[in-house]
Structure 1
């Protein structure tokens, strides 16, 4: 039965609408719009906050005891969102106001130009729908001086997804939730070590770039928070069948370029996996922004021919002065990071302990 449901996805969103639309309408609420906000980011002088306005539906976050079928139904509800276009949106950050109107797909983008610079830290913006008296708050990451930034993929880099195996990936995404999906061993402590930097007291920003759809934003955010992986802005995309199938497009490279241009004086550490095209994307990013990539870590989740391809690519990057490490786990990445001065010497034992603890609880990955 699961495979029959998975095959229904081949028709894309239109096919899901046709198959599940009547059931979804039964779960929709009549009432005010559902305001969704996504973690903002920017500099002390300029900040961007994105979000979406949808029709409401009855929906509760997942629990560890939820059945696969309940998880599947919640994913269907997420993917079959009903967008509201032309809705005015007003945002406030400190004393600065920004305005926008939702697009055809319900998205909006608020751009704040700050007359007085903000300190480099986490801030909170307020977002309202004045025509509907709806409002919400959203975290904003303001980045100033830092040792470096971290740009990370999510699937098969932070979250065990098996994205290079289509049907196994779909089964993981569709039939699990934020409390049942698992991180790779020690990944949270590794990212905390990188965020703290070489002296252990830094505040380096972490950004997550993924081809996952914005519909899954809440699930991913709760996963990161639950698994104690450093929070940071998520750069996702609108969904279609190609999104679910994990096919390559320009989204990741454009998102990385956005980070590089937003923070022109900040070098970056790039983290991904060998399952899809992260190594090739990161190579292109390093070439477009020479001298800006401190290191590239690629989690080896494939082996065989794909491993050979990544090793060849590593040689090309080394000739250009960029260090790409193909690593089996978080501990190997941490060992290299310590040896090259990206993390504090005292961070390695913490990563080692976290890897051992996670493996004991959830298996060797």
Structure 2
């Protein structure tokens, strides 16, 4: 009875303070605590948490959205999570058509939850993104949250991992409790760092305990929220955890139409760079979206600031990628540009570092 009185008093204090999210988070903890001792009470509390909390007028930002972050004074563990308001605009990522189809199905399931419920079905509530760095996994997570009009919580792994024994697990539980306190999207980037296979003898007990916590939290994850994870190394993730994800979505570097679409997106309204598109397409084959965006935005900025001639700017930014090519590959690139891009022989030579004589010889051989 003493414990129950303390818990009721704590709920009352949080409610009086107007801390809606904190109330829901505390109730999530009670659900976990009573799941064994009092399953009926745990189910009742879970049902309460499934209801979307009404937005309080005094907790609305000037632009009409929910606050994107909370004050550190409300809870010192808030540093574990980075938060983004549901009103934060996010541009749709450039994705392959099959990947777009998977994400569209995920959004449709979340939008038609009532139709599924009538047939005893639930929408996908978790997905893991697999792919190399820079292919849009994080941006896609933010875009999905924006499309669903839900706040996004991104787990800061550096904040979760603590040198204090047992604190890392407490940090991880806090992150899940906070995300479950209201309908939201929780994004766990580089999940392999905290969810490694438990048969890895090289890992310490603390990391294995984190996997156990992750398994427990995923088993209790509510269908009202969406759990997203990302990894560059799927083989490192514990198989038991891997099987709990409803969807496994693979991201790849852009090729073909996706590469062309990325180049067009990142060039924006700078029509003066359109003639370099064949060069960009060849140089950036096999590169990540983030590298393509970073380099093309640098070219655009330098053109706006008139830092050199256009050919010099393009050549300078692409120098690292072009110089990394073999001699034969650079010659092939130069001859391809000479034949298909409309650039002069002098400009092709300047951009690729291949002499004009070599370009002439190669083009004659191909004719």
TM-score, normalization: structure 2? 0.28
Q: Of Structure 1 and Structure 2, which has the larger fraction of its residues in helix? A: 2
Question: Max radius of gyration: which structure?
Answer: 2
TM-score, normalization: structure 1? 0.28
